[in-house]
Amino acid sequence: MAALRLRTCDADKVHAPISRVLNGIKVLSTRKEGCIYKGSKEDIMYILGIDVSKNKLDCALIDNSNHAKFKFKVVSNSENGFNALIDWLSKHMKSAISEYNFVMEATGVSHEKCADWLFNAGSKVSVVNPAHIKYYGQSLGVRSKNDKKDSVVLARYGLTQNPISWEPEAPEIRIIKALASRLNAIEKDILREENRYEKSNINPCSDSVLESIKMILAVLNEEKINLQRLIDMPINQYAYLKHNYALLQTIPSVGPVVSRYMLIVIGSRTFKSASQCAAYIGLIPIQNESGIRNQESGIRNQEPASGEE
């Protein structure tokens, strides 16, 4: 475990407290011995683009000797399909799985099982922002869209852009993330019931309806408290999470709720600098400069492009 020493930039100097805090964040690597990709770009011989859908994976393997040629394979999005893909690669290329770079888009949760399985098998996996793939495909002049063509675009992206390696979240971060998602849903349900209660109080309504709403609100508020307790347990259990949680709250206007979500973001994504992290969270203005026009377009969250400093 070490401090996450991140390079500062001009934007960080403007937001000095944010930069100082992010530079003090501690991280734990989730990679385990035997599951670590230790190669470099030169070690990767084959690039395979995977277009992920709920039930299947459309795969395009780029030919190492002729980048205009591809081999295609469709397998199910399941453990049987992953094994079938590796068997197909072993039969045709006769190379170790560590010699492949599997490139896929982040597609909600559909890609997670495949990415996690391939990572644990010892390969390099790159999970890319779909917006980057979309604009990269447009730059290639790709007009039509289907699963097979998308897998080709992903393979070409992996070949030319050398996307960063993906690694799974730490188990404790995954638990907090799932609990926080459930808590967010409960809070929305509470707001809906409160609005119904207010509306029922204004309009003529039977007492039984009001009692029903109050009963549901009581259950929801009790579950909200329970989820908050469950989220606090891993934060207090792991020293680095407890340290980060307290440190993030030293940022002006950042309290327990915001710092909780910042923990999830920092723990589940890879950032090369404090500026990337702050921009993703939405704490740094975005410049819009052209010729004599120079303005800041406001503060909003934005994921930096792959390889961007």
Q: What is the pLDDT of residues 30-79, one digit of tens each?
A: 444 333 344 444 455 689 999 999 999 999 998 777 788 899 999 999 99
Query: What's the rounded mean pLDDT across residues 151-158?
Result: 94
What percentage of the chain exceeds 70 in pLDDT? 79
Q: What pLDDT does residue 288 have?
A: 72
DSSP state of 98: G
> What is the location of CATH 3.30.420.40 in the chain?
41-161
Q: What pLDDT does residue 111 have?
A: 92
Q: How large is the C-alpha radius of gyration of the chain?
A: 23
Q: Are strands 285-290 and 293-299 parallel, antiparallel or unpaired?
A: antiparallel
* pTM for the full predicted model: 0.74
Query: Do 277 and 22 contact (CB within 8 A), yes or no?
Result: yes
Q: What is the pLDDT of residues 17-37, one digit of tens each?
A: 566 666 667 665 444 433 334
May I ask the CATH class of domain 41-161? alpha beta
CA distance 78 to 88: 15
Q: What is the pLDDT of residues 169-181, one digit of tens each?
A: 889 999 999 999 9
Q: What's the gap between Cα 261 and its chain centre? A: 13
Give the residue carrying structure tokens 């029903």.
Answer: 212
- Residue-by-residue DSSP string for 251-284: STT--HHHHHHHHHHHHHS--SBHHHHHHHHT-S
